[in-house]
Amino acid sequence: MTTRHLRAALMLAAAVPLAAARAAAMLKAGHWRLYADRHRIELMPRPRRSCPDCRGAGGWWGGGANPEMEACGCWAGRRTLRITLLPERSTDPWPDEPPF
Ligand SMILES: [Zn+2]
């Protein structure tokens, strides 16, 4: 391997984690939504278009003075599958370290 090849290999090795950090994929197929990034892979249920209650909207607004969104059982009762890949960094705005 020449110096030129070594430099190209190092640049490629440096570029791969950068590309992987920004890469996230979302795929909607049938009654499921697949989300994947470097931290996790999730398979989440989606509302069914053929649902007689929500007709694919996923829920409805309840009545009363403070209406809340009620989730339809066509998706809310189904499980979400999650595989954790890399732990996420803490986004604590107040770290334990002293400021000075
Ligand atoms: Zn529904």
Q: Give 3-35 as a DSSP string.
A: HHHHHHHHHHHHHHHHHHHH--EEEEETTEEEE
Q: What is the pLDDT at residue 63?
A: 82
Residues 6+ apart with CB under 8 A from 73: 53
| Distance, CA of 38 to CA of 36 (rounded, Å) | 7
Output the CA 63–ligand 1 centroid distance in Å.
18
**Residue 98 forms part of a structural domain:** no
Confidence label for 100 from pLDDT (cuts 50, 70 and 90): low
Q: What is the pLDDT at residue 67?
A: 86
What is the pLDDT of the chain when averaged over all its residues?
81
**Residue 15 forms part of a structural domain:** no
Residue 74, both tokens: 């066509």
**Residue 28 forms part of a structural domain:** yes
Output the CA 50–ligand 1 centroid distance in Å.
8
**Residue 89 forms part of a structural domain:** no
Output the CA 44–ligand 1 centroid distance in Å.
15
**Residue 56 forms part of a structural domain:** yes
Output the CA 77–ligand 1 centroid distance in Å.
10
Output the CA 79–ligand 1 centroid distance in Å.
15
Q: How many independent structural domains does the chain possess?
A: 1
Q: Region 38-63: what's the mean pLDDT?
A: 93
pLDDT in tens, 55-96: 999 999 988 888 899 999 999 999 999 999 988 776 666 666
Q: Give the residue, 33 or 4, on which the prediction is more confident.
A: 33
75 burial level (CB within 10 Å; 0-12, 13-18, 19+)? buried
Output the CA 46–ligand 1 centroid distance in Å.
9
Q: Is the pLDDT of residue 52 over 90?
A: yes
Output the CA 26–ligand 1 centroid distance in Å.
22
**Residue 16 forms part of a structural domain:** no
| Distance, CA of 9 to CA of 23 (rounded, Å) | 21
**Residue 45 forms part of a structural domain:** yes
**Residue 94 forms part of a structural domain:** no
Percent of the chain's residues with pLDDT above 90: 44
Output the CA 74–ligand 1 centroid distance in Å.
4
Q: What is the pLDDT at residue 87?
A: 85
Q: Which domain holds residue 57?
A: 24-84
